[in-house]
Amino acid sequence: MSLLDTIGRKLKGDAETVAKAPVEAARDVRYTVAAIQRGELSPVEPLKTVGSTLGALVLVSLLLFPIYWILIAALSGTGGSIYSSSGLKLFPEAPSLVPFLWVVGDLIVQGYDIVVDIPITNVAVVFSTPQLTLLDVSAIQPGTIGRVAFGSFELFPGFAVEPVENPSAFKSFFWNSLTVAIPTVIIAMSLVVPAAYALSRREFIFRRKILFVYVLLTQVGGGLGIALLIGLYTVYVQLGINDNKLALAVYYAATAVPFNTWLLKTYMDGIPVSYEEAAVVDGAPPWRVVVEVILPLSTAGLATVFIFTFLTGWTEFVVAQTLLGTDNYTLPVGLYSLISEYSIPWARFSAFALTFASPIMLVYLFAQRYIEGGLSFGGVEG
Amino acid sequence: MDTMATITLDSLRKEFDNGRIVAVDDLSVGVEDGEFITVVGPSGCGKSTTLRMVAGLESPTSGHIRIGDEDVTDQHARKRDVAMVFQNYALYPHKTVMENMAFGLRMSTDLSKEERRERVRETAQMMGIEDLLDDKPDELSGGQKQRVALGRAIVREPDVFLFDEPLSNLDAKLRTTMRTEIQRLQNEFGITSLYVTHDQEEAMTMGDRIVILKDGKLQQVGRPKDVYENPANEFVGGFVGSPSMNFLDVVVERDGDRVVLVADDGSFSYRLSKSFSAALRDATHEDELRIGIRPEDVFTATEGSNLIDSTVGVVEPIGSDNYLHLDIGPDFIARVASDIEPEIDETISITFDESDLHVFHPRTGETLLRDEPARRAAPASN
Amino acid sequence: MDTMATITLDSLRKEFDNGRIVAVDDLSVGVEDGEFITVVGPSGCGKSTTLRMVAGLESPTSGHIRIGDEDVTDQHARKRDVAMVFQNYALYPHKTVMENMAFGLRMSTDLSKEERRERVRETAQMMGIEDLLDDKPDELSGGQKQRVALGRAIVREPDVFLFDEPLSNLDAKLRTTMRTEIQRLQNEFGITSLYVTHDQEEAMTMGDRIVILKDGKLQQVGRPKDVYENPANEFVGGFVGSPSMNFLDVVVERDGDRVVLVADDGSFSYRLSKSFSAALRDATHEDELRIGIRPEDVFTATEGSNLIDSTVGVVEPIGSDNYLHLDIGPDFIARVASDIEPEIDETISITFDESDLHVFHPRTGETLLRDEPARRAAPASN
Amino acid sequence: VGVQESSSDGSESDSDGSGETATDSGTDETDASEPAGSASVWYQLAEPEIPGRKSAIEQFNEASKHTVSGSDISDMRKKTTSAIPAGQGPQSFEWAHDWVGDYTQREFVVDQRDEIDIDLDVFTSDAREAIQFEGNLVGLPHDAETVALVYNKDIVDEPPETVADMVAVMEEFHDPGNNKYGLGMPFADGYFLSAWARAFDGYLFDKDADPRIGVALPETVKGVQFAVDNFVPYMPNDPAYEPQAAAFAEGNAAFAINGPWYLSTLNEKGIDYGVAKLPAPEGGKPRPYTGITMWYFSKAMANGGADADAGRSFIEWYTTNEDIALKAAEEQGSIPVLKSLVDSGDLPDTVEGFSEAVKQGSPMPTHPDMRKVWDPVKAALTKAFNGKDVEQAMQSADEEIRSNLD
Amino acid sequence: MSTASRVARRVEDIPFLDKRDASLLFVLPGLFVFSAFMLFPVVYLIGISFTDAAPANLFAGEGALSVLTFGEATFIGIKNYVDVLFGGTFRIVLFGQSIATLPINGQFWNSFGVTWLFVATSVALKIAFSLGLALVVTAERVRGKRIMRSLIILPMGLPSIFTITVWRGIFSSAEFGLANQLLTMFGLETVSWLSERWLAFAAYNVTEMWLAYPFMVIITVSALQDVPDELHEAAMVDGASYVSRFFHVTLPSIKRPVFFASILTAAASFQQFLIPFVFNEGGPARQNELIVVYGYREALSFSEYGRGAAISIIALLFIGAFMWLNVKRGRLADGVNDA
Ligand SMILES: Nc1ncnc2c1ncn2[C@@H]1O[C@H](COP(=O)(O)OP(=O)(O)OP(=O)(O)O)[C@@H](O)[C@H]1O
Ligand SMILES: Nc1ncnc2c1ncn2[C@@H]1O[C@H](COP(=O)(O)OP(=O)(O)OP(=O)(O)O)[C@@H](O)[C@H]1O
Ligand SMILES: [Mg+2]
Ligand SMILES: [Mg+2]
């Protein structure tokens, strides 16, 4: 799959850049210092750079402070709270991983018995796969996290660790979220990609009208969810599909259609027609043109649409909460159910939210430039 | 190539915007098997449109296209056995050079993967790009990209080659090199080719014959030398050759059986020979004419008849020669040897041979004295 | 302009990427007031970088730039009284032509709005673009854009004009027209100009003097004719002039006091005159040499000494002349009159004047016989 | 039958008489060899309480032929209001009794007076009263809750008897500049403030009184004013629950006025606390609203059938099971409503404190119109907390309630 | 593929469609699903808004058919709309003086007004802040821009319900609320954020900004990167200072993408639900009840589905008109078409 290949290569490139960053920075500093020493560069220049960078850093830290703040709450043990009457603390006093352990729960791969009947004979051979215990939170000992993977190396020195009884249902929420988000992505992509291609490359009846409607509904679609909730809920209930993850996924996919179609269409507009023409002249039938040329060249757009649709399924709360029954709670609903009538168990709540968001954040971290590319409304320029 | 790959364009017409734009207008041209035809004309004259119709990327509004004996007018681009080289190369950025070159084979033949690679490797070797096969297009320099684009076309061994300004993105030096390279390849393979350019020098040097378009209409087809020497009209005369042909508006006066051409502002007069006068009288009865004289046919002289005095505006040295901008007419240039370096504002005398004179209809711009050989045969008879 | 706007570049050096790329290397050039200097060289040789340093858009790593008497090395771009014309015109797309042209005045003078409009209108009239003043750039054709870009620079009446390949996006014909226009304006205003191009013909025809760069290093500065006739080294010889100078590797053999140059494959020999031989012996003791001869200096001959037999590869007609590709050396071209049209593979004899010979060091490429006048004075003495 | 065996297992584990009631009822039903049903029950609990609830359900499932599945709901009001009318609701859900009137009127819950097999007299009278509305019995109670005075034993030696005493202690300890506070009490919540609003014979809502809405009565205003004067100066500045709770939970406040659910937080934080009844104001007595947590008979039970049986027998078993009640009392500080337990004196000290507070107060009104009282009162209390004129604030709340009731 | 082409051939037979219109088939599935799941509920909602629908009657009736009859709700005409718009009275109070009493529904119009105000302020804030931030993380002098850009979009990955709950904590009125601690750090008095109307409104704005800025910043950054360097350089040579360049080059060049993003985000602001709901349920005293919250509360908290639907429809009309105006005026659909 050349798409994955490309992504892999880009990731590797990114990783290399990140890895080389310190070396490069050192080189930069040495070069600058040398220039100053030779008297070729006024020392003010690097100072300006340092100053601006520091300023930007401060700004970024301020922006991210809320996230850091809840991380502290999460690391402050089960009693952690963002309401701290003892004033602002920049570091957790008694750092503890218990809330996270509580969220993650046991990571145990059950052992399976594989029975192979040997033909003719009456003998059956039984293979038992070992039970693979990555993490057993109820039996965990202080200083053992990371031992499985890192041998005797303690991964989080200084963090309190204790056995956790009754870990959260995170895994089941996680599974639910996955089974909502993945169909959402699949359905949405299969609706969006052909439409975006057609809107970008073909001329047909009602094309402009559809585009207009889509642009009109780009945002209305998503947000109206709440206003439409009553209608939606009634209809779903009457049809008896309200507690159905697939139905929810279809709904999410539907809401994602206008914006993402439009987004991808805009992105595809930026791909020079000559690639397509080259492929046609090379003898490629239309679908191969799309598969071999258009799609690989739309990577950034596709990645953006992928992330956006996935996010819809992954983080949407209000509709999921209304439609789904407890067994099917997705992560955000599960998260919200931690809140009881009066109080919020902040440490667990934060740990839950951060665990829940960290894959997304990782994706963002690496896909940032795709999203940037995918969201550069080049076609809007006019 | 075992088939006869002639190309016949038969009253081709292409309209855009519901007929508001006529890009190509009643164009009929026949291309012999193995011939290299260059298509030239100012921007927007319909060169690309013509080429794209041959490739099948546009369908003609009316008229027919035949490749060999087959009428391909309604055939899909991918069914036509043509290869095209695009202005921006249109190399698939996500594929390696190898994949780029093999793509056409993969689409239009059923060679095995190994065979394809073998074919690509052979071609690459011939083009001197075998070391680049694993690179992606954006790692290549302009010239290398150009070679890959050529290689991609060649490897398919098509019936017809189409080039749309393939060299216009290269710098002057590289352009000359690549030009020779394309000529070499064409000599080697003898594939029927249609080559679009807006650079008349390129058209002249490369084409077996040259097609000149203006506003979608055919102006002239012919061997470069013929076109240069016998332009069909003022436009062709001015378009072909660098620096451009000089044009002057003159009034026809009679002096016995001789004709005297007098500048409309009276600044000079030029007396024609008897035979030329007779020919001219046979050709037209207009009182006014437009004459053309090529810069290299203008020479400085100090004695003799038909001397024209003029002031030097600018002297442009191009090394091998000098261009003198003279005030005889608008943009009047004489190309003289590089050791003739008059001062600016100096007055010099120039003249030219009657045989080098081109005579055009003052309004339609048609060439009036077409049958040159007769006239040329007696250049000294004035 | 009342101030003396000379430009002095003093040991200018520019490094990129922390010194990994040296774009400009120890460049010293002085530009007279009112002079038009063209800077030429292959792609990536540092032309743009040099120009941008003068404009203040890059700051030099070391060295100094003076405009007039003032050292502007550390001055911000907007404080320098320079105007620049960019390759892609860089017209503000959202401003009308009027606003585009008035913007510089608005920023750098304190003329009233009315005065500014007046100035713009005058300039526009001069440039023949007064009808376009209310249009937006994207409604203009390439040539019109170019005119506006020029007008925008001119209207500010700067001390110094900088051009970065301003014509490279235009087609051949328009390029010639605009070239003349720029020359006319330059004559009219006499503003000191630095004009970057990669087209040697443009450089030759336009420049009062021409600066040739390669790999960031100055190769030669001089009047176009001098550079053409006395290239400082093989690179300049090959770069300036079209088609390129032909180069041949020869072995120096002696025949009494005459020197005979023998092709290294023995295919021809060329016997030098006594005086030339003496001069050559004075200049170098190398056994091998590289000689250069310009295509227009090669002529066909049937009798006389120093005849060289060669096979014709390709005949390129460019109208006024024909280019013969000969098998004497790699890419050996002779420019001959257009009526000399040998068949392909025909063997013809050519020769050239000793006085047109350029002799280069076989390894360094330096010109070995610099002092031409002496040698030129006695061309007939062989 | 196996079922009987397992239910008698259940009775064996029950220690005394009240346990037998449950077993009896179970046996009565199964006699008729009716089919086994399955019921779903909803609850919305704080995280620490969930395991206990789960094991209780498991215990029931083991002991009964019926199966009950419990779900922790993330927003009970929203979920019930949307799901129950749509026929998607559970057999039962657990909530305080204040929805009794409203939900009965909206037909979300149904009367099961004739269906149940237990004697309501096992419950305290307040609890009995709370689960009925206009003659409908819409659920069974399992514990009571109210707010009481929680004090930090490191700071306060003896719980104060009067507000004046309490103010003296607070005065001494309060020092917001150094993060020390006298009291943490979610002021803006009518439930928490009811003790004081009603301390001088005021009331918020009384379906039998005239006017029914007592928000703007001078007596009520006086009560609120009293709270404003005596407590607000010693509290953190945010009237919401979380910050108020945080102050005491971190050992930074001398007193808290809060409910039993608060104790798990305090245990976690390791605060050495005591619970006492509310101190008396001068010239009045604190009358907190009490909430009776109950299992509602949801609409899904209306048509009877095995599933309804399952739900009902679960509720009956749960509400009459002393073990569960006792365990909840010990672990969550909840106040039993089983008379047998209330009178037994086995309750932990903290629960005793709450128990006494319950005795001080009276159940929240069950009338549906009460629903429209809370929000305006909350707004008025917020204003009062922020130093606005109390009378005006209560007056406008009164107006709003009236206009909403039209 | 072959079925598709067979269908395509069929379609060609329809007189007014020609061959190229077969491409419509690529768009139809998306359009259909979207309509089914979004437009049908809208139509349904419109239907409900003319009835006295409440949970009790709406779900009555059996089977899918009763969807179409709205259960057993009865048709009451435009009463809901009349109630929403004109029910009740609205006192205009100026300087504590009641100057006029209008026969309109004060609650609705207040909600309506505050919603638009919120749209205006939050969008202005979002644009200004994101633009500033985007300029910082693309500034030439700043090192490590890529990493910073990756970092600042992280908030987009947090579930908004969580984020908003956290911001509720930040804006706690308590002395130790984070916002108040900041004030204290600067030597200011602490304030009661959520219990004072305009402070609460400000808190909504800040939170909305934090929620929305990553999206805006991404768009702005990519727009900024699309501004040709040559334009800046031309302006520099023309003598323009940083500020002039910002106004004459940067701003006009990024105008369209930013405008587009602003419209999207304006629509999002208009439909903001969680922030007011979680913060103080649109309080204090329903003063900041944004329109969606208002509709939601009417519908679900008070079980007046018909009324809630009417409110939602009115909101929809307005946001629809707003979008339509902007899309038309900004020629957003055209722009993409001409590209
Ligand atoms: N797809 C199209 N829609 C509308 N008009 C078009 C289209 N393609 C070309 N034209 C118009 O047809 C005319 C001929 O265009 P064409 O591209 O063939 O010119 P060209 O000779 O290739 O010019 P250039 O040298 O600039 O490439 C032009 O006027 C152009 O504007
Ligand atoms: N901002 C930059 N960062 C790194 N390298 C640069 C930068 N600008 C130029 N260079 C490098 O400096 C060298 C000279 O570049 P420059 O643009 O001056 O060449 P040029 O002569 O103008 O070429 P061209 O004819 O292609 O415009 C090149 O090798 C180029 O890659
Ligand atoms: Mg073209
Ligand atoms: Mg350059």
Identify any residues that bridge with C310 across adjacent strands, giving them in sequence order.
C348
The yes-or-no verdict on residue A316 having pLDDT over 60 is: yes
Task: Flag whether A touches C (3+ CB pairs, 8 A cutoff).
Answer: yes
Closest Cα in chain C to A34 = C18
| A255, part of any domain | yes
**Phi, psi at A177, each rounded to 5°:** -60, -45
pLDDT band of E46, cuts 50, 70, 90? confident
User: Do A187 and A327 sit in the same domain of this protein?
Assistant: yes
A31 touches chain C (CB under 8 A): yes
DSSP summary character for residue A85? T
What residues have CB less than 8 Å from B148, skipping those under 6 apart? B89, B91, B97, B100, B101, B127, B129, B132, B137, B140
More confident residue, B200 or E53: B200
User: Where do runs of H (alpha helix) occur along A202-272?
Assistant: 207-227, 229-239, 245-269
- pLDDT tens string A285-296: 888 888 888 888
pLDDT of residue D20: 39
How far is the centre of ligand 4, averaged over its atoms, from the C-alpha of C14 (Å)? 14
Q: What's the CA gap between D277 and E155, in Å, rounded?
A: 45
How far is the centre of ligand 1, averaged over its atoms, from the C-alpha of C14 (Å)? 43
Closest Cα in chain E to A270 = E339
**Under an 8 A CB cutoff, do A380 and E319 touch?**
no
Question: Which helix (H) or strand (E) segment is C10 a member of?
Answer: strand C7-16
- pLDDT tens string E254-272: 888 888 888 888 888 888 8
**β-pair type (C209-214, C36-40):** parallel
- pLDDT tens string C138-185: 888 888 898 899 899 989 888 899 999 888 878 777 888 888 888 888
User: Do A195 and A55 sit in the same domain of this protein?
Assistant: no
Q: What's the CA gap between E258 and B210, in Å, rounded?
A: 50
The yes-or-no verdict on residue D26 having pLDDT over 60 is: no
pLDDT band of E61, cuts 50, 70, 90? low
Hey, whose CA ends up nearest to atom 14 of ligand 2? C46
Residue range C177-196: average pLDDT?
87
The yes-or-no verdict on residue A174 having pLDDT over 70 is: yes
Place of tokens 């041949």: C248
Range of the domain at A148: 106-160
- The tokens for D332 are 């969550």
pLDDT of residue C382: 39
Nearest Cα residue to A347 out of A143, A158, A107, A69: A69
Q: What's the CA gap between E168 and A293, in Å, rounded?
A: 48
**Under an 8 A CB cutoff, do A31 and C18 touch?**
yes
Please give, rounded to a whole number of angstroms, the shortest distance from the CA of E174 to a CA of chain C: 51
User: Do A280 and A186 sit in the same domain of this protein?
Assistant: yes
DSSP summary character for residue A23? H
pLDDT of residue E94: 62
CA dihedral D9, D12, D18, D21 (to 10 degrees): 40
Question: Which amino acid appears at position B205 of this protein?
Answer: T
Peptide bond preceding B243 in cis form (omega within 30 of 0): yes
DSSP summary character for residue B366? B
pLDDT of residue A15: 80
Domain limits, chain B: 7-237, 238-376
| A269, part of any domain | yes
Own/partner long-range contacts of E17-25 (Cβ < 8 Å, ≥24 apart): E17/A205, E20/A202, E20/A203, E20/A204, E21/A204, E21/A205, E22/A204, E23/A198, E23/A202, E23/A203, E23/A204, E24/A198, E24/A204, E24/A205, E24/A206, E24/A207, E25/A198
Closest Cα in chain B to C168 = B171
Identify any residues that bridge with C172 across adjacent strands, giving them in sequence order.
none
User: Do A194 and A313 sit in the same domain of this protein?
Assistant: yes
Q: What's the CA gap between C96 and C98, in Å, rounded?
A: 5
pTM above 0.80, yes or no: yes
Cα four-point dihedral sign C68, C73, C74, C75: positive
What is E171-224 written as a DSSP string?
Answer: T-SSTTSHHHHHHHHTTPPP--GGGSHHHHHHHHHHHHHHHHHHHHHHHHHHHH
**Superfamily of domain E105-303, CATH level 4:** MetI-like (1.10.3720.10)
Helix/strand/coil for A237? helix
Q: How much is the mean pLDDT over chain C?
A: 88
- The tokens for A348 are 């667990």
pLDDT of residue B237: 92
- pLDDT tens string B1-58: 456 789 999 999 999 988 899 999 999 999 999 999 999 998 889 999 999 999 999 9
Question: Which amino acid appears at position A270 of this protein?
Answer: G
D243 touches chain A (CB under 8 A): yes
Residue range C74-94: average pLDDT?
89
Count of CA atoms in the C-beta half-sphere (13 A) of B244: 21
| CB nearest to A343's CB, from D46, D72, D253 | D46
Residue range A138-164: average pLDDT?
62
Closest Cα in chain E to D79 = E300
- pLDDT tens string B192-230: 999 999 888 889 989 999 999 999 999 999 999 899 989
What angle (nearest 5°) sits at the alpha carbon of residue E117, between those of residues E116 and E122?
100
What residues have CB less than 8 Å from A106, skipping those under 6 apart? A133, A135, A136, A137, A138, A167
| CB nearest to A368's CB, from E21, E150, E320 | E150
- pLDDT tens string D360-406: 888 888 888 887 888 788 888 888 888 888 888 899 888 888 877 76
Nearest Cα residue to C6 out of C70, C60, C90, C51: C70
**How many residues are given for chain A?**
382
**Please, are residues E229 and E138 in contact by the beta-carbon 8 Å criterion?**
no
Report how many domains make up chain A: 3
Question: Which amino acid appears at position D194 of this protein?
Answer: S
Q: Checking phi first, is residue E321 left (phi over 0); if not, alpha (psi -120 to 50) or beta?
A: alpha
Count other C-beta atoms under 10 Å from residue B134's C-beta.
10
Q: What's the CA gap between E115 and E286, in Å, rounded?
A: 12
User: Do A229 and A269 sit in the same domain of this protein?
Assistant: yes
Count other C-beta atoms under 10 Å from residue C281's C-beta.
14
ipTM above 0.85, yes or no: no
**Please, are residues A219 and E264 in contact by the beta-carbon 8 Å criterion?**
yes
pLDDT of residue B376: 42
Pocket of ligand 1 (CB under 6 A): B 16-17, 21, 23, 41, 43-49, 198
**Please, are residues C20 and C194 in contact by the beta-carbon 8 Å criterion?**
no
How far is the centre of ligand 1, averaged over its atoms, from the C-alpha of B43 (Å)? 8
| A254, part of any domain | yes
How far is the centre of ligand 4, averaged over its atoms, from the C-alpha of C214 (Å)? 13
Question: Which helix (H) or strand (E) segment is C25 a member of?
Answer: strand C21-31
Task: Give chains near B: 3+ CB pairs under 8 A.
Answer: A, C
| A98, part of any domain | no
**Under an 8 A CB cutoff, do D74 and A327 touch?**
no
pLDDT of residue E17: 44
Q: What's the CA gap between A48 and A259, in Å, rounded?
A: 42
**Please, are residues B291 and B250 in contact by the beta-carbon 8 Å criterion?**
yes
What is D24-62 written as a DSSP string?
Answer: HHHHHHHHTTPPP-EEEEEE---GGGHHHHHHHHHHHHH
Q: Is the CB of C46 under 6 A from ligand 2?
A: yes
Count of CA atoms in the C-beta half-sphere (13 A) of D367: 15
Task: Name residues 179-218 of chain D within 8 A of E (Cβ).
Answer: 179, 188
What residues have CB less than 8 Å from D197, skipping those under 6 apart? D190, D203, D204, D220, D223, D224, D227
A-C C-beta contacts closer than 8 Å: 11
pLDDT of residue C9: 94
Q: What's the CA gap between D247 and D390, in Å, rounded?
A: 25
Q: What percent of chain D has pLDDT over 90?
A: 5
Task: Assign domain B7-237 one CATH number from 3.40.720.10, 3.40.50.300, 3.40.190.10, 3.60.110.10.
Answer: 3.40.50.300
Task: Give chains near D: 3+ CB pairs under 8 A.
Answer: A, E
pLDDT band of E66, cuts 50, 70, 90? low
A38: chain C residues, CB-CB within 8 Å: 62
Q: What percent of chain B has pLDDT over 70?
A: 96
D375 touches chain E (CB under 8 A): yes
E159: chain D residues, CB-CB within 8 Å: none
D383 touches chain E (CB under 8 A): yes
**Superfamily of domain B238-376, CATH level 4:** Nucleic acid-binding proteins (2.40.50.140)
User: Do A151 and A175 sit in the same domain of this protein?
Assistant: no
**Please, are residues D277 and D180 in contact by the beta-carbon 8 Å criterion?**
no
Q: Which residues surround ligand 3, an ion (CB under 5 A)?
A: B 48
Q: What's the CA gap between E295 and D374, in Å, rounded?
A: 19
pLDDT of residue D307: 86
User: Do A22 and A140 sit in the same domain of this protein?
Assistant: no
User: Do A180 and A146 sit in the same domain of this protein?
Assistant: no
Residue range B144-161: average pLDDT?
90
